[in-house]
Amino acid sequence: MPTLSSASSKTSARRGRTAPELVFGDLWPFDPAPETADPKLKARYDLFIDGKFVAPKSGKYFDSINPANERKLARIALAGPSDVDAACRAARRAFEKVWGPMPGRERAKYLFRIARLLQDRAREFAVAETLDGGKPIKESRDFDVPMTAAHFFYHAGWADKLEYVAPGRQVAPLGVVAQVIPWNFPLLMLAWKIAPALAMGNCVVLKPAETTSITCLKLAEIFQDAGLPPGVVNFVTGAGETGAALMSHPIPAKIAFTGSTAVGKTILRALAGTDKRMTMELGGKAANIVFDDAPLDQAVEGIVNGIFFNQGHVCCAGSRLLVHEPVTEAVLARLKHRIRQLKVGDPLDKNTDIGAINSREQLKKIRTLVASGVREGATLYQPDGILPAKGFYFRPTLFSEVTMSHRIAREEIFGPVLSILTFRTVDEAIEKANNTAFGLSAGVWTDKGSRILKMSTELKAGVVWANTYNKFDPASPFGGYKESGFGREGGRQGLLDYVILKP
């Protein structure tokens, strides 16, 4: 029988308060600390084509809502095939006449300027990112926006050093590239795509996710302020149909997609037989592996960061925890204690650890997979606490007694849900970690350097973190194996996906 245990200790009751007052993270009550910077949102966002904001030819718009309270934030233009065509043609003109022939040292100046202008408006962008996507303000403020600027800075540094991209070979840009990104890191995914493409001399047409288009269109304002020549970057907004029209348009020489494995496969099937270059950054089901010699308190912090960061809306989330049997009980007890302290709620509050789930559909998907975990016999633990009445929220969730056959051990949940499995030997840990269709990332916690080297050699994952988790740097390439995709973003390797190599 599935068992359900919960944090029934009634922390508030111990303090003489009644249970309904207990809210998440309420070991110590915090006063609300809302971020107050003005996100400077417009009521309506048009397409960004050829350096200008233009209405979609169909005249159609859709709503973008704040997942924290379900209120409408803005209307977003719905791009159809003719808008996509106009964007691709603008990009080709810009490539042929301006950006392609421009020396790399000149291109670099624009990328530096974009990074600096984003830094100037960092708080405004952080608030907009949190309103549109639901992630806690401390993450938008301390991670998403600074890392986005860092990617533009890093790639500005490459733009005038093309001879070092592939030593001994000449590199040339591909032309126009078509890019589609997901909703979990709207600004950062955009920077991962646009910055290397521009640095190498390509022009871009990009489609953001339909639930998170606002910061992308705000960045277009920065492109205008930076004087980026018209057509070098174009944004078309809309859902899957717009994305499909962009991916299959004849002008782009390359497509770069980040999103789910299912959609990635659809795109690959649709484009099979064309000569388009492709990179695919797809889903993951990472194993975070804790050995009995690991410093457990640090490991627990890393595990919590690995799965609850950004509500678990992270492709490389450490969603499967593999624990060495001798320390299973100790790790589980520490994890339960730790997640009782996580503050779930208003993403704009500076104390919030877990914000809103990005959309109603995503919340439904998380609930379905969690229900399957209970049905299939895993043991569920969720802390008590009151979730906000409006908006999309989900409690931090631990599943123990998980086996490799459970759906929660195999499928990407993309929410704050950790599936805990155990192992006895190093080989069993490697076997279980690699027993997945995905291969994006993994984590290892141990005191032994030799074990880290063995694990990082044998784990089939694009990134292996040791005694840390979710660490990123623009100089460090990121990408997957198997159904997690192909190609790399970041570092010198990421540049190679945006150039033609000549002898």
The reply to whether 216 belongs to the active site is: no
Least distance (Å) from ligand NAD to the CB of residue 339?
22
Active-site annotation holds for 315: yes
Structure tokens at 101: 């022939």
Minimum separation from the CB atom of position 465 to ligand NAD (A):
15
Q: Which helix (H) or strand (E) holds 105?
A: helix 104-120
Cβ closer to ligand NAD: 321 or 452?
Answer: 321
CA distance 127 to 109: 27
Shortest distance (Å) from residue 74 CB to ligand NAD: 17
Q: Would you count residue 268 as binding ligand NAD (CB under 6 A)?
A: no
Beta strand pairing status for 320-324 and 379-382? unpaired
- Answer yes or no whether residue 129 interacts with ligand NAD by CB under 6 A: no
Beta bridge partners of 257: 180, 280
| DSSP conformation letters of 265-326 | HHHHHHHTTS--EEEEE-----EEEE-TTS-HHHHHHHHHHHHHGGGG--TT---EEEEEGG
Minimum CB separation of residue 296 from ligand NAD in Å reads 28
**Among positions 177, 247, 251, 499, the unique one binding ligand NAD when judged by CB under 6 A:** 247
Tokens describing residue 143? 């991670």
> How far apart are CB 280 and ligand NAD at their closest, in Å?
8
195 touching ligand NAD, by CB under 6 A = no
Binding mask 343-372 for ligand NAD (x = CB under 6 A): ------------------------------
Q: Is 286 in the site for ligand NAD (CB under 6 A)?
A: no
Contact between 191 and ligand NAD per CB under 6 A: no
Q: Kindly report the backbone phi and psi dihedral angles of residue 439, in degrees, each rounded to the nearest multiple of 5, phi listed first.
A: -165, 55
Count of positions on this chain that bind ligand NAD (CB under 6 A): 31
Of 371-410, binders to ligand NAD (CB under 6 A) are none
Give the number of other CB atoms < 10 A from CB of residue 120. Answer: 13
Three-class DSSP category at 150: helix
DSSP E strands, 4-84: 4-6, 44-45, 47-49, 52-54, 61-66, 71-77
* Residue number of the CB atom closest to ligand NAD: 243
Residue 144: both structure tokens together: 């998403």
> CB 461 → ligand NAD: shortest distance, Å?
11
Nearest alpha-carbon partner for 313 in 495, 132, 124: 132
For residue 412, the one-letter residue type is E
Q: For residues 384 and 351, what is the distance between their CA atoms, to the nearest angstrom? A: 18
> Whose Cβ is closer to ligand NAD: residue 53's or residue 481's?
481
Both tokens of 155, joined, read: 């790639």
For residue 163, the tally of other CB atoms under 10 A from its CB is: 12
Cβ 432 vs Cβ 287: under 8 Å: yes
Of residues 298-317, those binding ligand NAD (CB under 6 A) = 315
Position among 267, 342, 357, 495 found at the interface with ligand NAD (CB under 6 A): 267
Q: How far is residue 239's CA from residue 54's CA, in Å, rounded to a whole number?
A: 18
- Measure CA 143 to chain center: 11
* Sole window of 89-97, 236-244, 298-306, 467-475 interacting with ligand NAD (rule: CB under 6 A): 236-244
**From CA 442, how far away is CA 414, in angstroms rounded?**
16
Contact status, residue 148 vs residue 56, Cβ threshold 8 Å: no
Does residue number 190 form part of the binding site for ligand NAD (CB under 6 A)?
no
- Map the footprint of ligand NAD across residues 196-215, applying CB under 6 A: 207, 209-210
**Catalytically annotated residue among 315, 412, 483, 489:** 315
- Whichever of 239 and 387 has its CB closer to ligand NAD, that residue is 239
Return d(Cα 146, Cα 116) in angstroms, integer: 11
Annotated catalytic residue within 281, 411, 483, 489:
281
Query: Considering only residues 130, 215, 258, 310, which one is a binding residue for ligand NAD as defined by CB under 6 A?
Result: 258
Q: Give residues 434-493 in contact with ligand NAD (rule: CB under 6 A).
A: 440, 480, 484-485
Positions in 12-71 near ligand NAD (CB under 6 A) = none
Binding site for ligand NAD (CB under 6 A): 180-184, 189, 207, 209-210, 239-240, 243-244, 247, 258-260, 263, 266-267, 281-284, 315, 412, 414, 440, 480, 484-485
Residue numbers annotated as active site: 281, 315
